[in-house]
Amino acid sequence: MSRIAEIHRKTGETEIHIHLAIDGQGKGTISTGNGFFDHMLTAFAQHGFFDVTIKCLGDIEVDFHHSAEDIGISLGQAFRKALQDKRGIFRYSHSYVPMDEALVRVVADICGRSNLVYSEELRDRRINTFEVDLAYDFLKGLADHAMMTLHIDIIRARNSHHALEALFKGLGRTLHHACMINPAAADVIPSTKGSL
């Protein structure tokens, strides 16, 4: 089964191209217009073992908000397309990821219902040119358009860079396990309803 998707999304604010191979080796080719966000998405790809190309041309002279949100939307669409009917996936997963003093918990259910619960109380609201609030906008777009439930808690952190890096690594690890094929039920859609 080939679990690959291409997404091209163009609006008056952004133009985004995404190629996603769920069953990859963790190779990320990322160009978003923001160096810190490139770093986060590269960590996501590597720790999720996803092969991902993301190219975004956005109106960053206005703000990076449109780009962060639209990349989340497009990546969510790519996951939804690549997973097809979700037959055989584990569906649920979670991870705890530390980075130095920071600790983050990521829990996912690829259930066909979109929901994001995100808890953080970070002191530093900007990392270089990246606004910390944009992590929420990216995650909301991802959860809504992949139609998954995400619960993310930054349990503790002193350094916002450490916290967000642990978050993106944890997101990769969690989605890797949730998307994996369960060898005991490879032809089963993991729902009592028979569809996700």
Sign of CA dihedral 40, 106, 27, 139: negative
Map out the domains of the chain with their CATH numbers: 4-179 (3.30.230.40)
* pLDDT digit string, tens, across residues 103-155: 999 999 999 999 999 999 999 999 999 999 999 999 999 999 999 999 999 99
The pLDDT assigned to 1 comes to: 67
3-class SS letters over 119-183:
ECCCCCCEECCEECCHHHHHHHHHHHHHCCEEEEEEEECCCHHHHHHHHHHHHHHHHHHHHCECC
Q: How far apart, in whole angstroms, are the C-alpha atoms of residue 190 and residue 185? A: 8
| The length of the chain, given as a count of residues | 196
Mean pLDDT confidence for 69-88: 98
Q: How far apart, in whole angstroms, are the C-alpha atoms of residue 54 and residue 33? A: 11
Mean pLDDT confidence for 94-100: 98
Q: How far apart, in whole angstroms, are the C-alpha atoms of residue 177 and residue 188? A: 17
Token pair for residue 121?
């109380």
Q: How far apart, in whole angstroms, are the C-alpha atoms of residue 29 and residue 41? A: 9
